[in-house]
Amino acid sequence: MATPKILVLPGSTRTGSHNVRLAALAAKELALIDVDVTRISLEDYPLPLYEGDLEANAGPPANALKLKQMIMAHQGVFITSPEYSASVTPLLKNSIDWISRVREHGEPYYAAFKGRVFALGSASPSSAGGLRSLMALRQILELGCGALVIPEQVAIPQADQAFDDMGNIADTGTANLFRAELSRLVDMARLMT
């Protein structure tokens, strides 16, 4: 069976971001399994705020195409999502909106979200760990983009204290849930190869 490729994509580019830290941990854990892991930063794919006239006049920007192709080169995508105002970050939503508008070779919209599997995680200094951003992101991906999102997810509360010096999740139960989620993502991604 072919080795599945997993993309890790944090929804924050903030210096010291808890969700970048969670993404780094996901990449580290995934590298221990038999998968090819790529971790990217949206900092490397700057995009204007989506606006219909902008698209009508110039089409999706080159970075939207690059992001779409990056997703399509993988069978699994793990997204870490900060919670802003009980939802996802504008950065993540705007990136998804642009990706959803890219069509190559006459393919249908949302091509990047089909034929692969998504898994979600969040980290927040709050007690709910960004859970509401995961609910919003699940709605965007599943209902908005037609993606398959596995039911397993982790929301890490008190994120400023949740990681140890090695960047691991300090709480053993949560760390085990996180590994189980990644394992399920890989199992599902293997089916897509």
Ligand X SMILES: Cc1cc2nc3c(=O)[nH]c(=O)nc-3n(C[C@H](O)[C@H](O)[C@H](O)COP(=O)(O)O)c2cc1C
Q: Which of 32, 62, 69, 85 binds ligand X (CB under 6 A)?
A: 85
Q: Which of 38, 126, 158, 168 binds ligand X (CB under 6 A)?
A: 126
Nearer to ligand X by Cβ, of 131 and 189: the residue is 131
Residue among 99, 123, 86 nearest 10 (CA): 123
Residue 98's φ and ψ, nearest 5 degrees, are -65, -45
**Nearest distance in Å: CB 130, ligand X:** 5
161 binds ligand X, rule: CB under 6 A: no
84 binds ligand X, rule: CB under 6 A: yes
**Nearest distance in Å: CB 160, ligand X:** 8
**Nearest distance in Å: CB 156, ligand X:** 10
17 binds ligand X, rule: CB under 6 A: yes
81 binds ligand X, rule: CB under 6 A: no
- Return the structure tokens found at 186: 């890989």
Q: In angstroms, rounded to a whole number, what is the distance separating the alpha carbons of residues 51 and 173?
A: 43
Stretch in the footprint of ligand X (CB under 6 A) among 9-17, 24-32, 38-46, 170-178: 9-17
Q: Which of 14, 44, 109, 161 binds ligand X (CB under 6 A)?
A: 14
Query: What are the residues binding ligand X (CB under 6 A)?
Result: 12, 14, 17-19, 82-86, 124-126, 128, 130
